[in-house]
Amino acid sequence: MLNVLTQPWPWYVAGALIGLTVPTLLILGNKAFGISSSLRHICAACLPGNIDFFNYDWRKEAWNLWFVGGITLGGFIAGTLLKNPEPLVIAPNTVHALRELGVRDFSSGLMPADIFNWGNLVTTTGLLFFVIGGFLVGFGTRWAGGCTSGHAIMGLSNLQWPSLVATICFMVGGIAMTHIGLPFLMRLITL
């Protein structure tokens, strides 16, 4: 059984399980799947004040905080106790393209250690990728009225037109960032 948990699952199994969260949440309590709203609930719980955006009964959405806590705990367990001992398989074309951009170290798992490491946190690389990138993700999530999981999983399954538009924009933005933005940023960092 443990061997099944430490190996990558096929897309059709993992995708089906993720997809089943939508009807499960709807059946169990008419709840909407989404992760970004949990940050608002955390801020509403921890920041007393008169900011209208955080002035609501966040306790009604406390289930969402437990859900996100479970995702965090599950990620920790999967990344430490159930870690796949085999090296991550990356398409040769992707490895070649990243090496051309100066990324050499793929030994850390899911993220290249050349970019994502504690030493880079106080460098230009860290400022660009962590601080400015994180702000842009948060801003985009708020502007789009939800995150990729909320729109692409929950919104599309409910046939919501705004979620289709948001998901298309997420995909176009991701492709543009991969082929235009990332090469530009990597060249900027190495100058």
Tokens of 39: 């940050």
Give the model's confidence band at 69: pLDDT under 50 very low, under 70 low, under 90 confident, else very high. Answer: very high
pLDDT recorded at residue 1: 65
pLDDT recorded at residue 82: 82
Residue 2 clears pLDDT 80, i.e. is over it: no
Q: What mean pLDDT comes out for the span 31-55? A: 81
Q: Domain residues of the chain, as ranges?
A: 1-86, 117-191
Confidence (pTM): 0.72
Could you report the per-residue pLDDT of 150-170, keeping only the tens digit for each?
888 888 888 889 999 999 999
